[in-house]
Amino acid sequence: MKKDFYEMTCILNPVLDEEKFSEIVAHVNKLIEDNGGEIVEVDEWGVKKLAYEIENKSTGYYVNLYFHAPGSSIEVIERNMRIHDDIMRYLTLKYDAKMLRHFELRQKGEIPTIFEEETEETTDED
Amino acid sequence: MINNPSHPKKGHLKSKDCKFTKSGIEYIDYKQTDILDRFINDQGKILPRRVTGNSARHQRQLSTAVKRARFLALIPYVTENLR
């Protein structure tokens, strides 16, 4: 089966404790793997302040996932996430060629800097 | 804009070149909010191309990135104008 590369970010309910967070992350990972996907990277950003309130909460626990999965599985995964009470919001993106190249650069830590005054190293070619 | 001294509208913009084209970036990531912050005003609106000098392609990518970041509450939809 053809598999595409996806990125998913979700915001979990911040009221829970550490144990529950890892439990939910494991639950989401299992959900993806059960539907024929493979996890590439899991990045937990931790509790962050939200720019606006979601479900009357001003903070959220961010989790960023990268995985390969067949297209038909996304529907199933998203339906399960929508039902889950402690997942406040999620965003799934399918990666195209440009985004994949960007992801590879990011893994190597070679994203071109845009504003040179922030980081001293310049990536000018011209 | 008041809190951001390097904001393009503050006359900090020296050249009208597209910053993204110049750096050779291919995809504007919604997770890099430090970059997106440069292209929104103090109300949280996306700045027009005539102010930032973005190329059409990158302005489209930027607007998608900003909208994704807004959805995930990384940057605000609207900011209260404290006055």
ipTM, two decimals, is 0.77
pLDDT digits (tens, 9 = 90+) for A25-76: 888 888 888 888 888 888 888 888 888 888 888 888 899 989 888 888 888 8
Average pLDDT over residues A13-27: 86
**Residue B67: per-residue pLDDT:** 92
* Beta-carbon separation of B72 and A89 below 8 A: yes
Give the closest residue to A31 by CA, choosing from A82, A77, A99, A91: A77
User: What is the per-residue DSSP string for chain A?
Assistant: --EEEEEEEEEE-TTS-HHHHHHHHHHHHHHHHHTT-EEEEEEEEEEEEEEEEETTEEEEEEEEEEEEEEHHHHHHHHHHHHH-TTEEEEEEEE--HHHHHHHHHHHHT-PPPS-TTTSS------
**Residue B9: per-residue pLDDT:** 58
Residue B74 contacts A where some CB pair is shorter than 8 Å:
yes
Residue A78 lies in a domain: yes
* Beta-carbon separation of A111 and B25 below 8 A: yes
Question: Helices A18-34 and A71-83 meet at what angle, rounded to 10?
Answer: 150
Full residue range of the structural domain in which residue A43 is found:
3-108
The domain that contains A37 carries what CATH number? 3.30.70.60
* Beta-carbon separation of B27 and A102 below 8 A: yes
- The segments of chain B whose pLDDT lies below 50 read none
**Cβ-Cβ contacts under 8 Å, B27 against chain A:** 98-99, 101-102
Dmax (CA) of chain B: 40
| A102 closest CB neighbour out of B29, B74, B77 | B29
Sequence spans of domains, chain B: 18-71
Q: What is the pTM of this model?
A: 0.77
| Distance separating alpha carbons of residues A14 and A12, to the nearest angstrom | 6
**Cβ-Cβ contacts under 8 Å, B74 against chain A:** 51
Residue A120 lies in a domain: no
* Beta-carbon separation of A51 and B74 below 8 A: yes
Q: How far apart are the first and last CA of chain A?
A: 44
Residue A9: pLDDT above 60? yes
The residue of B23, B34, B45 whose CB has the most chain A CBs within 10 angstroms, and thus the best one to mutate to test that interface, is B23
| A112 closest CB neighbour out of B24, B71, B73 | B24
Exposure class string for A78-90: b at 16+ Cβ within 10 A, else e: eebbeebebbbbb
Q: How many CB atoms lie within 10 A of CB B52?
A: 20
Quickly count helices (H) and strands (E) in chain B: 4, 0
Q: How many domains does chain A have?
A: 1
Residue A93 lies in a domain: yes
Give the fold, CATH level 3, of B18-71.
30s Ribosomal Protein S18 (4.10.640)
| A112 closest CB neighbour out of B6, B25, B75 | B25
pLDDT digits (tens, 9 = 90+) for A81-111: 888 888 889 999 998 888 888 888 887 876 6
**Cβ-Cβ contacts under 8 Å, B25 against chain A:** 102, 111-112, 114
Question: How wide is the angle at C-alpha A82 spanned by C-alphas A79 and A88, nearest 5°?
Answer: 155
